Structure 1
């Protein structure tokens, strides 16, 4: 005889007994080295919508899903740590008792079931950002990359009722560089120059991607102290939240406006990589960008996000005012004619490297679209400040004195040469540049 209750045979049990059963379905365990935590079996949620709502309410309604974002983790090994906390006094639960996962990527998170979580049931979703070292601009760039990846994951959610972004202190690291600056509230850290961007400080870079989520009902930014809250400039965050809210409510802004804000923020962050970005992690990031650009025959090295920009936004991606990096690449692939040898039909890889470095040097110093005050900022990519010697005559360009360019020193010691050497170690890349050069020689009539 069929059971008449919406919960099936479970409906015959007292609610207290059912809730005790559902409690045992909550996530448990921790990821360990090489051994992921056992995945909870929640197939019962698919039995009926009544069971789904009762079980998910029991497990998630007073729970928090928390993500820790660190600038120090290897991006190829770890995206974030994720924690599941239950109960009203989550902070009192010991670290040993809470489930914990190490998510290597968005794809890893989706494979482990994070894409199908009942996100709307959570009391809150929390993302913790550790303050980066402002002496190494690559750290805030890493955190921004991870923020964008989390946004990709959060877009899988039906609705996120409350998202909390916590700005935490690190060991001797803070989001404010100095608390006493000419009588002002505090000098906020600006690890990057945020070229052609509305970002004013590091925290804007990591918070802004979440502001533009369209399935988000409420976003709260929690600074680690009242002093930091007082020092922060909230203009960028408030504007982004207002625009996103207007688009959701159909009150002026459109989804196209949100997409354009996302594009400008994305490209300005990548453009900032090439301006005054120093430090070990900064070098790693530039290396990655140069190496990955030609790695994919179909996408020309662009990420899925950037290919979407090409499809949706057309030429925005290639505007050098928004992104100097792509302007430099355009300059490289055109090869300035004064530097082109005559009657050359084949260029060995080492010669291509030398020509690329010379052209890139010329592009950095003398192209018209680079703001005059920023031209000197690019010289650190070539290590030029290290090679100034007494008695050298400097180069004066647009009223700015530059150290003289000694190509031999640059080719031997520059960071960019190291990147190009690795780039051209791939035979496919060697053929690409050889064909590119031969086409230029033919077209120039040399």
Structure 2
């Protein structure tokens, strides 16, 4: 009966009613495009980079990436051969980070994938990776916290955790993607960064970005090069101890692999000498702390400015919007609406969050008035970091922490009010219909 009613209604509508939906024009040129989520884009970037091993413990929203890789990890090569990374679901997050570190020590491009609660459990293992200068990638999918929080909602509340997580002080890189396309390229770059500088790299994403379906052009991969960093090569057949943590001007030592013929070395979570032998000597301690810290200086010296901060919009505008991660899309949308209303604006998107690109950022912030910081957390974590590292905070702070992403439509009138001098320092975005 229901089917008959549907058929009768359809025939009547077809004969008597005009179509309710406007027809969209075809694109001017035919090109192959991809329909992807940020999660899938990240996974494809890892495959492009030659990832050989990934661990995970199931957790929302990170699990989707690993299960996607499990379904699509067979990569075709010439001659009909196929190969792909080993995906391993483990018993807990501490096992995930330590297994990934072990694979990296053996020479695999290695990663683990998690969300906020899992990252909290990983920090002990991440400290071990920092002490042993292990090139491991940690993909951190942010969601609402603390504790279980909002497992299926978005947030940008893990910035400070990513930068400070783990006891003591050790270098790490923190990068953030602002679009589905960027997820692909940043996932690949993360392995280059990890192996070039021999440290953990945290790739920050969030629920809004990774679950968003978007049509994108096929990825350009011609500029993606694999950089395995400084490797140690044995010169003879005799087994010899080598200074795995040799003191160098850059802080980066030639890296051997576990099982590599002709050499042996030690790895320990305790402070150690150049050879990896346990040491509490105060001079050795200072030398090793300074060696590891020099990597952060090297990163800021070597990374091109566009890999640290990306400038969008009217480069000469004074009205400046500062943001990071998935919020970038909404800010760019609002900036276009401002332009249509005759308001000149520009957007500064932070791609590198640690080490903080203060020098590059201060140059592009010159003349910014007002400076508006926009992010999806309660306290304005980027704004606090900005003040800590540069001495300047935003003139205005716009935040949202309901678990729902910021939209350009909701942001636009707030920015209009700020431009007109009609808004206070802090604005909380709310939508009663969400």
Q: Of the two structures, which has the highest relative contact order with CA contacts closer than 8 Å and spacing of 6 or more?
A: 2
More strand by share: 2
**Structure of greater Rg:** 1
* Shorter-chain TM-score tier: under 0.3
| TM-score of the aligned structures, taking structure 2 as reference length | 0.26
| TM-score of the aligned structures, taking structure 1 as reference length | 0.25
